[in-house]
Structure 1
Amino acid sequence: MRKTRNRPTRVAALAAVFLAATAVHTAAPASARAASGSARPHQVVTWAASADRAGTGVPDRAYRLVVHTSVAGSAARIRLSNAFGDRPLTLDSVYAGIRESGAALRPGSNRRLTFGGAAAVTVPAGHTVLSDPLPGPLPAATDLVVSLHSPDAAGPATGHGMALQTSYTTQGDHTAEEGADHWTATTGSWFYLDAVSVRTAAPRTGAVVALGDSITDGWHSSADLDRRWPDYLARRLRLAGTGVQGVANEGISGNKVLADGAGQSALHRLDRDVLSQPGVRTVFLFEGVNDLKAHTGVTAADLIAGYREVVARAHAAGLCVVGATVGPFKGWGEWDAAAESVRQEVNTFVRTGGAFDAVTDFDRILRSPYDPERILPALDGGDHLHPDDKGMQAMADAVDLTALDCAGGPHTTG
């Protein structure tokens, strides 16, 4: 992967433009809009995290949530989720700004979000809401900070448990503050926030959604450094300047394709986590190891049928689907010869079954040449299932970027 020594300077310059929009925001003249092409600007997801149950809501709690953008754009919209709540959720103050360091925001960047013009919003149980567009640009590769407060949260909270990103909490409404004085408690989860999208002027700009389990969620990658494989993929896409620029990470640790448990199954959450996201061009399906190692009688035919359903529903929505082979996990406590046999059969289908628009062979990238049922020690995070940072980067480097736009027809990479 190429080094980008000037990237922090460029991001800072773009962030300064974001700050300037705080003072004034003027619509581009018609001539400029026409020059950008005949297609109208459209929303593209720039960050996302799968919603799940996240403990119990705490009244008068405020969260300062740090997320990292992928595609650049303007008019950012924040999606808030009460998908797993059993009662309406009221958020009476929501702000968004650019992070300076820790819980502190860049001065002048923190701005109130509105919902239908109102400062407060009530999210019905089982639903999501979108904020109004926030005027001004939002750069790529930026730590966006969403601060939100609920006066009376209770019952099941909705969020994403394993963020691998430090965020901050406090009691009382300190969301408008840019300083860190009141934000002294930390959390490793995201609460009530499940997506951010931006408006892009380029008519062909799109996004890829990584639908997966703990490997996609980033387990055993370094926290606070954005070293999950979808993060590395976002960096490659940004450097390559391809039409697909947005990356949404919809991985849940322990998740399965077929059965609910650690989060709703991939089949049950496909509509909310993938198909509802704006600007999605491609679904990257890398999931299945939890189905076949759980010793619940799941056969290769069962898992293949699940894959086919994901593909059919994505195709019906006009999306491409890239399939990935299931990686090796010999040495993990649940590994046995029967599970390995199912994995091999499933991977043969992924490679040769013709169901996917493209295939990335993560198994070939991760496995040891001396024992193909094991992950290569140099890429092993230590538990013989999850790759470390080097493994995550190797996975991202194996993805043919043209495959994310289904260019050139079906093909295999990695």
Structure 2
Amino acid sequence: MRAGTMRWAGLLAAALTATAVHVAVPDRAAAAPSRHEVVTWAASADRLGDGTPDLAYRLVVHTSAAGNDLRIRLSNAFGDRPVTFDSVWAGVRKTGAELRPGSNRRLTFGGRTSVTVPAGRTVFSDPLPGRLPAATDLVVSLHSPDAAGPATGHTMALQTSYLAQGDHTAEESAASWTRTTSSWFYLDAVVVRTDARTGAVAALGDSITDGWASTADANRRWPDHLARRLQQARTAVKGVANEGISGNKVLADGAGQSALNRLDRDVLSLPGVRTVFLFEGVNDIKAHTGVTAADMIAGYREIVARAHAAGKCVVGATVAPFKGWSDWDEAAEEVRQQVNDFIRDSGEFDAVVDFDRVLRSPDDPARMLPSFDSGDHLHPGDKGMQAMADAVDLTALDCAGGPRTAAG
């Protein structure tokens, strides 16, 4: 563990072991119009396999925005029956499944230690007193005595989490957590309370945003690199929610619900989101299902209109080159070029980031620059992910004046 991470972890451990009176009362006394909640981590929900009764999950997530009084959101969005969680704890990771001593704290829901989430619904926990620093490996441990039917979660976490049979959620030792998982189960958001100036950006996307081909357990997805830039910058936007799903499309359900169908739950419902970063479309284009540029443009316009109606700004990102991928052909390339012309020139987005120009090869603009290519010609590797994040104009994410269209 890096020294900086240890320092943040130590601060969180100290905060989480403080008494409620010492930590929470001054914060709440200063509350209300000057403070609000902001998402510090999120992952888009999808249907996983069937839930397992009497199984515990130790889920590792990496925060972005710092703040107090963390709350988590549990999701049963794809369940076909209620699911009960009878023990939920939050702490900070030391290494692997082991927590820093004294950092693990029980979460409650309406003052109770158990909560039942109805099918198709989400539930927020009560605030947990204490300060949660930025760039912390937060660990949420949860146990369900009765999980069954479709589980809700995020398939490709690119982060190792842990499983235990029976309820070991209160334990800080790794001894009982002998199995691993590469998915996040039931947890889809973490929020913190911070000053009202602080906001967040939600990245709505597909496998490139999800981090496919970036190094696992290293937080090298392009939204992770963006979060690190935001922490160092003089900007009010500090939270980053990664709402990418591998294989996802703008228009059609398949690998997760379409961007249109999941926009409200995965993006607009998250506290403190100021800007929607829309980078999606390649899966629609390369699917050879007859999707035209006009179809894509209509989908983008609907997302922009709904986000603007919710008071959010929308940054549009051009679709990246993918020549060399098995589904590429000249017809798909023509649609991609027409879509990118719309994103760049329509004026319907509040800002534009040209990922196409960042990633493409000068020798063949339909192909990704080899140094950025993971090798499959569709997904950028670590260097490409960093280049994407570096290309984002951070001032475009702030949107302090509100969306252009809504402002008239």
| TM-score with structure 1 setting the length | 0.94
1:385 is matched with 378
Contact 2:13/2:92, CA 8 A, preserved across alignment: no
Aligned with 1:262 (options 255, 265, 270): 255
Aligned with 1:25 (options 18, 22, 25): 22
1:43 is matched with 37
Contact 1:22/1:111, CA 8 A, preserved across alignment: no
Residue 8 (structure 1) aligned with residue 5 (structure 2) = yes
- Distance in 1 of aligned mates of 2:21 and 2:176: 29
Aligned with 2:136 (options 131, 142, 147): 142
Q: How many residues align?
A: 402
Q: 1:217 to 1:26 in 2, by over 3 A?
A: closer
How far has the Cα of 1:40 moved from its partner?
2.7
Residue 57 (structure 1) aligned with residue 51 (structure 2) = yes
Equivalent position amino acid for 2:260 in 1 = L
Equivalent position amino acid for 2:229 in 1 = R
Q: Secondary structure at 1:39's aligned position in 2?
A: helix
How far has the Cα of 1:158 moved from its partner?
0.4
Residue 106 (structure 1) aligned with residue 100 (structure 2) = yes
How far has the Cα of 1:295 moved from its partner?
0.3
Equivalent position amino acid for 2:109 in 1 = F
How far has the Cα of 1:90 moved from its partner?
0.6
Contact 1:64/1:147, CA 8 A, preserved across alignment: yes
1:330 is matched with 323
Q: Secondary structure at 1:303's aligned position in 2?
A: helix
Q: Secondary structure at 1:55's aligned position in 2?
A: strand
- Distance in 1 of aligned mates of 2:175 and 2:89: 17
Residue 225 (structure 1) aligned with residue 218 (structure 2) = yes
- Distance in 1 of aligned mates of 2:375 and 2:400: 37
How far has the Cα of 1:21 moved from its partner?
2.1
Contact 1:22/1:109, CA 8 A, preserved across alignment: no
Alignment of 1:266-277 (within 5 A): 266-277=259-270
Equivalent position amino acid for 1:87 in 2 = R
Aligned with 2:111 (options 94, 111, 117): 117
1:352 is matched with 345
Contact 2:64/2:135, CA 8 A, preserved across alignment: yes
Contact 1:358/1:406, CA 8 A, preserved across alignment: no
Residue 174 (structure 1) aligned with residue 171 (structure 2) = no
What CA deviation, in whole Å up to 9, does each residue of 1:330-371 have, x standing for no partner?
000000000000000000000001110000000000000000
Alignment of 1:67-216 (within 5 A): 67-200=61-194, 202-216=195-209
Equivalent position amino acid for 1:119 in 2 = T
Equivalent position amino acid for 2:12 in 1 = A
- Distance in 2 of aligned mates of 1:8 and 1:153: 34
CA RMSD of aligned residues (A): 1.8
Structure 2, unmatched stretches of 5+, are none
- Distance in 2 of aligned mates of 1:40 and 1:20: 26
Equivalent position amino acid for 1:190 in 2 = W
How far has the Cα of 1:27 moved from its partner?
4.0
How far has the Cα of 1:298 moved from its partner?
0.4
Single out whichever of 317-326 and 11-20 deviates more from structure 2: 11-20
Q: 1:26 to 1:14 in 2, by over 3 A?
A: closer
- Distance in 2 of aligned mates of 1:73 and 1:286: 28
Contact 1:82/1:126, CA 8 A, preserved across alignment: yes
Contact 2:70/2:192, CA 8 A, preserved across alignment: yes
Equivalent position amino acid for 1:154 in 2 = A
Residue 248 (structure 1) aligned with residue 245 (structure 2) = no
How far has the Cα of 1:41 moved from its partner?
1.4
1:279 is matched with 272
Equivalent position amino acid for 1:213 in 2 = D
Q: Secondary structure at 2:321's aligned position in 1?
A: coil
Equivalent position amino acid for 2:148 in 1 = A
How far has the Cα of 1:32 moved from its partner?
8.2
Residue 291 (structure 1) aligned with residue 284 (structure 2) = yes
Q: Secondary structure at 1:379's aligned position in 2?
A: coil
| TM-score with structure 2 setting the length | 0.95
- Distance in 2 of aligned mates of 1:280 and 1:25: 30
What CA deviation, in whole Å up to 9, does each residue of 1:70-124 have, x standing for no partner?
0000100000000000000011110000000000001111111100011010000
Contact 1:21/1:137, CA 8 A, preserved across alignment: no
% identical equivalent positions: 77
Contact 2:15/2:23, CA 8 A, preserved across alignment: no
Contact 1:360/1:398, CA 8 A, preserved across alignment: yes
Q: Secondary structure at 1:285's aligned position in 2?
A: strand
Equivalent position amino acid for 2:95 in 1 = S
Single out whichever of 11-20 and 44-53 deviates more from structure 2: 11-20
Equivalent position amino acid for 2:152 in 1 = T
Q: Secondary structure at 1:186's aligned position in 2?
A: strand
- Distance in 1 of aligned mates of 2:216 and 2:162: 15
How far has the Cα of 1:20 moved from its partner?
3.7
